[in-house]
Amino acid sequence: MLRFPNPLSPGRGAGGEVSYRTEIIALAHSPHIEQTVEHLFRHEWGKLVSVLTKLFGPQNLQLAEDVVQDTLEKALHTWKIGGLPDNPSAWLFTAARNKAIDVLRRQKRTDALAQQITPLLQSEYSLVPTVHETVQAGSINDDQLRMMFVCCHPSLSAEAQVALILKTLCGFSVTEIAKSFLTGYGTIEKRLYRARQSFRDNQVSFDLPPENEISNRLENVLTAIYLLFNEGYNSTQHEKLVREDLMQEAMRLCELICSSTLVEQAEARALLALMNFIASRNETRLDDAGNIRLLAQQDRGRWNKERIREGIRHLERSTESDRISRYHLEAMIAYEHAAAPTYEQTNWNSILRYYDLLRVHYPSPIVELNRAIAIGEWYGPAEGIKAIESIPPSAPLLTYYLLPATLGEFWLKLRQKEKAIGYFNEAKSLTHSAAEKKLLQQKIDSLQQ
């Protein structure tokens, strides 16, 4: 099977990986082209991979990704010389379609591919019109919806399903996926390799699963969307703390699910409500100098009221089902923050009750930590510290900067400066975010004056 050069392969650079997005943007000298490419990488990657997977079949997923990578690389070189086309998205679809025709012409005589493509693609008379009909922007929403559920095929582990969605539909690099899972680069590479091999072994088709399987796959689809949103809300691999493009892409994918009559919508609407509530704060999370403003410092008058209204609308729609998911509970927590006129008027008692329910029905170390924060706000910092100290040690929390950062805040409120400084230093060593490091250093400096 043909393989184009893979810019995400190991061995490129000191870290073993160079993000393809970073590599192609480095070729662009025009700020306008750079911004367009950054946008297109995230917004068009998943669309193109989805439509080409429909053409080649999920068992040839790597081939679809290779064609998209080659198309994006060609776009960069062409646009550097001739400037941006009037419709960059249409240009990419046309280029990908032409590339797919070339690939099929070269490979349709090989036994492996010939057995997997339709007769219409094997005949020269029908090849071009079939590709043109398949690779078109008009059906892209349906194709992406199918692709989300194809990625969650039951032959794959839950971790592999989520990783595959982040890679194929969201354009995440392997490093970004590893950060989201709090695991190593090699682990994610193996998961992706085994997932693609499983598609080949099981001859997976590009169809929505039977109705009785959709609900089982939906949970991991929503998990992947939420991870994408979280990477945008608090970016681990970008100079910007807030990546609104990723947040908007996650919300767009969630809206695809909410608009489908084939999928149970309650959980998706609850997740969309949660994302709207959180995204409503975007304009106030950083000051003009790029410094982080914590929730207590944000100007709530500048929170996006339209997003809050959208969040309420989706939250109300999500209650039409009897099922209450973790997204419902997290959305209610976010709603309490959105509804509070000031930080001091936040209903921490209600928030704590929602965390108690999460703790029972959806336990995790992160839920325990967030619950401890709510306890500290409602009952005082000493009780918050006790709650944190009662959390069983776990690998995710040991490397999570927010744990020592929270302890630092609680000890600061108790006027224990030396302890606070120690925890802030520990938190600073654990985060990769320049903005978070800066905030923690500012706290340390203010305490050492």
- What's the pLDDT tens digit per position in 99-155? 888 887 776 555 455 455 555 454 444 455 556 555 565 555 678 888 888 888 888
Residue by residue, DSSP assigns 22-45 as HHHHHT--SHHHHHHHHHHHHHHH
255: left (phi over 0), alpha (psi -120 to 50) or beta: alpha
Q: At what angle do helices 31-56 and 244-258 cross, to 10 degrees?
A: 30
Q: Per residue in 102-119, is it b (16+ CB within 10 Å) or e — as a string?
A: ebbeebeeeeebeeebee
In this predicted structure, what is the pLDDT of residue 109?
54
pLDDT higher than 50, residue 165: yes
In this predicted structure, what is the pLDDT of residue 397?
87
Do the Cβ atoms of 246 and 235 come closer than 8 Å? yes
Q: How far apart are CA 425 and CA 401, in angstroms?
A: 10
CB atoms within 10 A of CB 178: 22
In this predicted structure, what is the pLDDT of residue 74?
87
CB atoms within 10 A of CB 59: 23
Share of the chain above pLDDT 70, in %: 82
Q: How far apart are CA 271 and CA 254, in angstroms?
A: 8
In this predicted structure, what is the pLDDT of residue 211?
74
Nearest to 241 by CA among 275, 304, 289: 289
Stretch 164-177: mean pLDDT, rounded?
85
Do the Cβ atoms of 88 and 40 come closer than 8 Å? yes
Beta strand residue intervals within 96-197, DSSP E? none
pLDDT higher than 70, residue 44: yes
Q: How far apart are CA 80 and CA 74, in angstroms?
A: 10
pLDDT higher than 50, residue 350: yes
Do the Cβ atoms of 280 and 303 come closer than 8 Å? yes
Residue by residue, DSSP assigns 333-346 as HHHHHHH-SSGGG-
- pLDDT digit string (tens) for 203-247? 888 877 777 778 788 888 898 899 888 888 887 655 677 888 788
In this predicted structure, what is the pLDDT of residue 85?
86
In this predicted structure, what is the pLDDT of residue 11?
35
pLDDT higher than 50, residue 23: no
Of residues 38 and 43, which shows the higher confidence score?
43
Beta strand residue intervals within 60-134, DSSP E? none
Q: Is 301 exposed, middle or buried (0-12, 13-18, 19+ CB in 10 A)?
A: exposed
Share of the chain above pLDDT 90, in %: 39
Do the Cβ atoms of 435 and 290 come closer than 8 Å? yes
In this predicted structure, what is the pLDDT of residue 118?
53
Q: How far apart are CA 267 and CA 34, in angstroms?
A: 36
In this predicted structure, what is the pLDDT of residue 189?
93
In order of 203, 387, 411, the CA distances from 424 in angstroms are 52, 19, 10
Q: How far apart are CA 185 and CA 193, in angstroms?
A: 13
In this predicted structure, what is the pLDDT of residue 125?
41
In this predicted structure, what is the pLDDT of residue 267?
94
Pick the range with the lowest mean pLDDT from 29-43, 122-136, 343-357.
122-136
What mean pLDDT is reported for the chain?
A: 83
Do the Cβ atoms of 249 and 43 come closer than 8 Å? yes
pLDDT higher than 70, residue 355: yes
Stretch 348-366: mean pLDDT, rounded?
96
Q: How many residues appear in the chain?
A: 449
In this predicted structure, what is the pLDDT of residue 4?
29
- pLDDT digit string (tens) for 282-329? 999 999 888 899 999 999 999 999 999 999 999 999 998 888 899 999
Q: How far apart are CA 305 and CA 402, in angstroms?
A: 28
Domain boundaries, the chain: 265-335, 347-397, 401-449
CB atoms within 10 A of CB 379: 15
In this predicted structure, what is the pLDDT of residue 38?
66
Our CA angle for 307, 311, 315, nearest 5°, is 170
Which residues share a beta bridge with 286? 292
Q: Which residues have a Cβ under 8 Å from the Cβ of 239 and sit 6 or more positions away?
A: 434
In this predicted structure, what is the pLDDT of residue 260?
83
Q: How far apart are CA 218 and CA 267, in angstroms?
A: 9
In this predicted structure, what is the pLDDT of residue 374?
97
In this predicted structure, what is the pLDDT of residue 128?
59
Do the Cβ atoms of 141 and 43 come closer than 8 Å? no
pLDDT interval class at 32 (50, 70, 90): low
Token couple for 282: 């975007």
In this predicted structure, what is the pLDDT of residue 236?
63
- Which range, 154-168, 258-272, 359-373, is most confident? 359-373
In this predicted structure, what is the pLDDT of residue 7?
31
pLDDT interval class at 3 (50, 70, 90): very low
